[in-house]
């Protein structure tokens, strides 16, 4: 019997998770399919209960459901600590929630900069993805600064980290970037179709800054274009993050080793072909 997986979020039509996971299923000869399901914040509990009842094998969870979905699953300890999930496994009968965003981001940064300990990392956002990324980097000894539009959310997140501070946007943000080694956009700002928006401009960056945008659609966001204008040497798009967090979800669901290169190529080919 064909196994069904999917992603829930709102919006979700832009997601390339179906392209990525279906390419992996095909490569491994698995009788499985992955779909995108639009689910509002008000309906997330019903969606998770319905998925369990319908025999869906696993779900990914994306914006804006990562935090709310936590209350409808039996979350793993790290996911509970983060306060958000992006993966649900139904194989045991009880929906188990995981968070693989931090795993994905950590692998990307290790490939890009090597040692994380002691690095000054400025994270834009305080939502589900920002929480996961900050917890994993904090555990590796990075010095975290959370910059968020709503100060209260930034303060709340930093209070849970061992070595962190918070920042507003605007002029204060520019000063924080000057002292940063790594800048991570963990918001949806710049995501298709709002591609001409960035929280940071070229004049706020320095060439030795590592700029990492978790947005993958488009591959080159306004933030990354601004980084190029600033002469930034290390620029990372969101495709690797999508692939690595997706690969971690794939392992949880299937207990199989995911074909990472196939998954990445499928995403990049789709972005180029469709010209998102």
Can you give the pLDDT at residue 234?
97
CATH number for the region 3-99+240-274 comes to 3.40.50.10860
Render pLDDT for 159-206 as a digit per residue (tens, 0 to 9). 999 999 998 777 689 999 999 999 999 999 999 888 999 999 999 999
* Nearest to 138, CA basis, from 154, 111, 120, 156: 120
Q: What residues are annotated to the active site?
A: 66
Identify the pLDDT of residue 53.
96
8-58 pLDDT tens trace: 999 998 899 999 999 999 999 999 999 999 999 999 999 999 999 999 999
pLDDT value of residue 171: 66
Residue-wise pLDDT tens digits, 61-112: 998 999 999 999 999 999 999 999 999 999 999 999 999 999 999 999 999 9
Contact by Cβ (8 Å): 79, 70? yes
Confidence (pLDDT) at 1: 86
How many residues would you count in the chain? Answer: 276
Domain residue limits, the chain: 3-99+240-274, 102-237
Going by C-beta distance under 8 Å and a sequence separation of 6 or more, which residues neighbour residue 135? 78, 81, 82, 102, 160, 161
The model's confidence at residue 120, banded by pLDDT at 50, 70 and 90, is very high
Q: What is the pTM of this model?
A: 0.92
Summarised one tens digit per residue, pLDDT across range 130-148 is: 999 999 999 999 999 999 9
Q: What is the pLDDT of residue 276?
A: 46
Query: At residue 233, does pLDDT exceed 70?
Result: yes
pLDDT of residue 274: 75
Q: Per-residue pLDDT for 275 more than 80? A: no
In DSSP terms, 9 is beta-bridged to 38
Tokens 């070229």 appear where?
Answer: 202
Which residues neighbour 185 within 8 Å (Cβ) at sequence distance 6 or greater? 124, 125, 199, 200, 212, 213, 214, 215, 221, 223
Transcribe the chain into DSSP letters: --EEEEEEESS-TT--HHHHHHHHHHHHT-SEEEEEEE--GGGHHHHHHHHHHHT--EEEE-TT-TTGGGGGSEE-HHHHHHT--SEEE-TTSS-EEE--HHHHHHHHHHHHHS--TT-EEEEE--SHHHHHHHHHHHHTT-EEEEE-SSHHHHHHHHTTSSSEEEE-STHHHHHHHHT-SEEEE-SSTT-TT-TT--SS-GGG--TT-EEEE---SSSS-HHHHHHHHTT-SEEE-SHHHHHHHHHHHHHHHH-S---HHHHHHHHHHHHHHHT-
Q: Which fold has domain 102-237?
A: Rossmann fold (3.40.50)
């Amino acid at each position: 019997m064909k196994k069904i997986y999917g992603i829930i979020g709102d919006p979700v039509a832009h997601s390339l998770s179906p392209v990525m996971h279906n390419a992996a299923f095909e490569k491994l000869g698995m009788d499985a399919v992955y779909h995108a399901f639009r689910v509002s914040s008000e309906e997330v509990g019903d969606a998770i209960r319905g998925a369990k009842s319908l025999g869906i094998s696993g779900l990914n969870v994306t914006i804006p459901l990562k935090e709310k979905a936590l209350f409808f699953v039996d979350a793993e300890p790290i996911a509970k600590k983060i306060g958000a999930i992006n993966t649900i496994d139904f194989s045991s009968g009880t929906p188990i929630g995981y968070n693989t965003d931090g795993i994905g981001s950590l692998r990307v940064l290790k490939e890009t900069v090597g040692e994380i300990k002691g690095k000054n990392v400025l994270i834009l956002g305080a939502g589900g993805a920002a929480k996961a990324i900050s917890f994993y980097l904090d555990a590796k000894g990075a010095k975290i600064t959370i910059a968020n539009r709503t100060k209260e959310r930034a303060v709340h997140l930093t209070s849970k980290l061992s070595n962190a501070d918070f920042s507003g946007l605007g002029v204060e943000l520019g000063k924080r970037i000057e002292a940063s080694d790594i800048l991570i956009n963990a918001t949806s700002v710049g995501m298709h179709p709002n591609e001409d928006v960035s929280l940071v401009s070229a004049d706020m960056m320095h060439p030795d800054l590592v700029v990492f945008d978790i947005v993958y659609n488009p591959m080159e966001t306004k933030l990354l274009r601004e980084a190029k204008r600033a002469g930034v040497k290390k620029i990372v798009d969101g495709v690797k993050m999508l692939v690595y967090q997706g690969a971690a979800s794939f392992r949880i669901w299937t207990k199989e080793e995911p074909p990472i290169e196939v998954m990445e190529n499928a995403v990049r080919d789709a972005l180029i072909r469709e010209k998102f």
